[in-house]
Amino acid sequence: MSRYALLVTWDELVIAAQIWIEGDPDPQTRSELQELINTGDREELAERMAGTLEFGTSGLRGEVAAGSRRMNRAVVIRSTRGLADYLLSNTVGNPPCVVVGRDARPTSEAFMRDVIGVFLAAGLTVEYFPEPIPTPIVAYATLSRGAHAAVVITASHNPLSDNGYKVYGANGAQIIPPSDRYIAEAIAAVGPAIDVPRVEDFEEHERSRVLDDAVFDRYLGDMELTRVRPVAVPSFKIAYTPLHGVGGKYVVAALAHAGYVDVHLAGAQFDPDGTFPTVRFPNPEEPGALNLVYDLASRVDADLVIANDPDADRLAIGLPSEYGWSALTGNQIGVLLADHLLENTKVENPVVVSSVVSSPMLGVIAAFRRARFAQSLTGFKWIWNAGLELESAGGTFVFGYEEALGYSIGRAVHDKDGISAAVAFADLVAACVVEGMTVADRLEALYRKHALWVSSQANVVCPGLDGASKIEVVMNQITMDPPQSLSGVEITSVIDYSVGAETRPRYLPAAKLVELELGELGRLLIRPSGTEPKLKIYGDLQSDVSKVADMRSAEKKLLDRIDKLISDLIDYLRLD
């Protein structure tokens, strides 16, 4: 039994659940929570009612179910009213305008209707996409429509059981402190969801406006302004999958707009389907997730595999090799794109940004290309706020990335964008074709010039309330009693990002993140996930390979070493 369940009496849990039931406008979740009371399921009731679902890296995200710690209509309604109150109290003049969109998950349409209804009843203007839409297009619309905020109902690449609520500010980036705290306080002040006014039939409401393909057309025009590419696009074959997500027709249209028309589609995964019938986990990083598109690529003899996650804000790349199809890592895609863009950009004072857990190799490339480089906390809300701050100091944002397959090209979208990143990588491949080399050749050339950097990570899942407690204990342990060495490698210093924020840029605030430095060899990092109940451990090592004959062997040797370091850290923290 969860120790949290033991800290709360059954009577207290029942009272909290009954109050929630009385305030829930959805009969299905009312019945679901009542059943837990009727069956006396104390463990599950504690998991549902011990606290509330709070804003994290991407607003709200969690399992769809009844209760205050789950995603459901009551949580969405109260959150939207709180956000509306925050916007009303911080807007001068006309009522705030909010852009709203959704993905194709089973509950997303109902959640979006509640969001629109609450905003309209609160007096806001709402511009919304009636059909499932990629998250980057909603982020783009926030800026292009001059909105005060945006909400996207999406759980991105999370499991089928989840859904989420992502919030953007007027600057087109995801919200950061203190805005998230003020919004959370406004949500806490909202009464029961059943008492929150909503406009049910909003389609003909005077402050309700439908957004159409004109937004995407304008997006394509802005994307074109930031492209760097060969004079003539050579012909090559692309195999593509949106993994049952919403990116399909938009990515195909963007590629065609850029001149890439020989695109072969993983048909069984092309149409939006929030049940994700052909994959166990709709994340392109997961083993086996790209098998279907790899099979397609082999059949058509493709030169490149492109995949997106379900809300099309991430990009995965697969390349052919003598060993079959293999995926590039998020860091490999990142350094390849950064070098390509910086080599060809015409802007003065270019700026590139990565999350602190992404490969340090980007900083080396930026220095070589004479670009300004910065690191932020994980999450594109921090990457883009870093970019905006550096732009205010005279720079121009060219590229940002994080190792979890997130990339931002140019200034049109202030978030990760798997659509423009797909076009940018196709342009990189085209440049390689023109130069008579492969992408693998280009990556090897980067390693020989700047040193081989390899990265690896491990995720330790810690579900439920006990998991949250375990994560807290481990983070305290690593700060209070870090290892002196691992696998015979000395820990030369420890950086605890929960302290010292006053000496760092505002895009590196206090955070539960610890970095173990390994001298010139590299580093290890550990942090809790912002969107899932897990601990994430990262490792980055480097080696001079300028004179190495067998690059593949050198890379494998370094990867084996970093995986051993990560394994030893897991053992040290008793996480196995």
Whole-angstrom distance, CA of residue 291 vs CA of residue 78: 41
Helix axis angle for 73-89 and 108-121, nearest 10°, is 40
- The catalytic site residues sit at 156
Helix axis angle for 361-368 and 330-344, nearest 10°, is 10
Residues 6+ apart with CB under 8 A from 465: 2, 3, 4, 5, 46, 47, 50
> DSSP per residue over 482-511, as a string?
--SEETTEE--EEEETTS-GGGS-TTS-S-
State the amino acid at position 375 in one-letter form.
Q
Whole-angstrom distance, CA of residue 420 vs CA of residue 416: 9
SS3 content of the chain, % helix, strand, coil (to 5): 40, 20, 40
> DSSP per residue over 344-366, as a string?
H---SSEEEEEETTS-THHHHHH
The CB-side HSE value for 201 (13 A sphere, CA atoms) comes to 1
> DSSP per residue over 252-317, as a string?
HHHHHHTT---EEE-GGGTS--TT-TT-SS--TTSTTTTHHHHHHHHHHT-SEEEEE-TTS-BEEE
Whole-angstrom distance, CA of residue 542 vs CA of residue 364: 12
The first and second tokens of residue 75, run together, are 């949580």
Q: Which residues pair with 399 in a beta bridge?
A: 352, 409
Cβ neighbours, 10 Å, residue 85 = 18
Mapping DSSP to helix (H, G, I), strand (E, B) and coil, where does residue 325 land? strand
Residues 6+ apart with CB under 8 A from 569: 483, 486, 516, 524, 526, 537
